[in-house]
Amino acid sequence: MAGPEARVASHETARPLWLTLALWTVPGLVFLLAAGLWVSATTLHELSDSAYDRSLAGAVRAINLNISTESGGVGVELPYPLFESFQATASGEVFFRVSTEDGLVQIGDALLPPPPALSVGEISFYDATYFDRPIRVAVFKRPLDRPLYGASNAQNIVIEVAETTGSREAFRQSLIHRAI
C-alpha cells in the first residue's frame, strides 16, 4: 500500500501542466507563424510584381501605338515623356527593343536577352539578367500591318521593355518588413 510519501514522490517527478501545454502548443504556433509569414511574403511578391508590371505593360502599349511601316521598314517614334516619367518612377534603368521576330530589324537595346516562346497578342513578363543585373521584362508580339521590304507576308514584331529590379526589390522588402 502506497502511503502519502509515494504520492508526493510521483507528484514531484511529473511536469507542471503549463510546461506540458507549452511543449505541445509552442511548436504548432511557431509553425503557423512561419507559414503565415511565408504566405504573406509570397502574396506581397505577387502584388508588387503586379503593380510594377502594369507600368511596363503601359510602356509596351505606348511603343506599339508608335510603330510605323509606312516607309517599307520599321519606324518607331518613342514616347520620350512616357519613358522619362517611367524611368523616374522605376528609380532604375529602363531598356527597350523593337525587332522583327527573325531579328533582322532591331531598334533599341539589341543585347536584351531573347524572350521565351511568345503568343501573338499577349503581353508576357519574365525575369532575366542584362549585363549582370537582374531585370524584369515585358514583351509583346503582334503581326505587322504590311510586309517589310517587299516580303511576301507580314512579319511579326516583338516589343520589349525592361527595367532593373532595384526599386521593385526595395519596395517589396519594405512591405515584408512592415508585415513582420
| DSSP designation for 152 | S
DSSP states of 17-85? HHHHHHHHHHHHHHHHHHHHHHHHHHHHHHHHHHHHHHHHHHHHHHHHHTEE-TTSS-EE---HHHHHH
- What is the extent of the structural domain holding 115? 40-179
Residue 135 has a pLDDT of: 92
pLDDT along the chain (180 residues), means of 10: 52 73 84 85 81 87 82 71 64 83 81 87 92 93 78 81 86 78
Other residues' Cβ atoms within 10 Å of the Cβ of residue 93: 15
Residue 2 has a pLDDT of: 54
CATH number for the domain spanning 61: value is 3.30.450
Residue 176 has a pLDDT of: 75
Residue 90 has a pLDDT of: 59
Q: Is residue 17 part of a domain?
A: no
Is the distance from CB of 59 to CB of 137 less than 8 angstroms? no
Q: Is residue 133 part of a domain?
A: yes
Q: What is the tally of structural domains in the chain?
A: 1
The C-alpha atoms of residue 162 and residue 134 are separated, in whole angstroms, by: 10
Q: Is residue 52 part of a domain?
A: yes
Cα distances (angstroms) measured from residue 130 to each of 53, 96, 127, 136: 18, 12, 10, 10
Counted residue by residue, the chain has a size of: 180
CA 140 to chain centre: 16
Q: Is residue 10 part of a domain?
A: no
Residue 129 has a pLDDT of: 93
Residue 166 has a pLDDT of: 83
Helix 80-90 vs helix 17-65: crossing angle, to nearest 10:
160
Residues 6 or more apart in contact with residue 73 via CB below 8 angstroms: 105, 148, 149
69 φ, ψ (degrees, to nearest 5): -120, 20
Residue 24 has a pLDDT of: 83
Cα distances (angstroms) measured from residue 2 to each of 8, 9, 11, 125: 10, 11, 13, 76
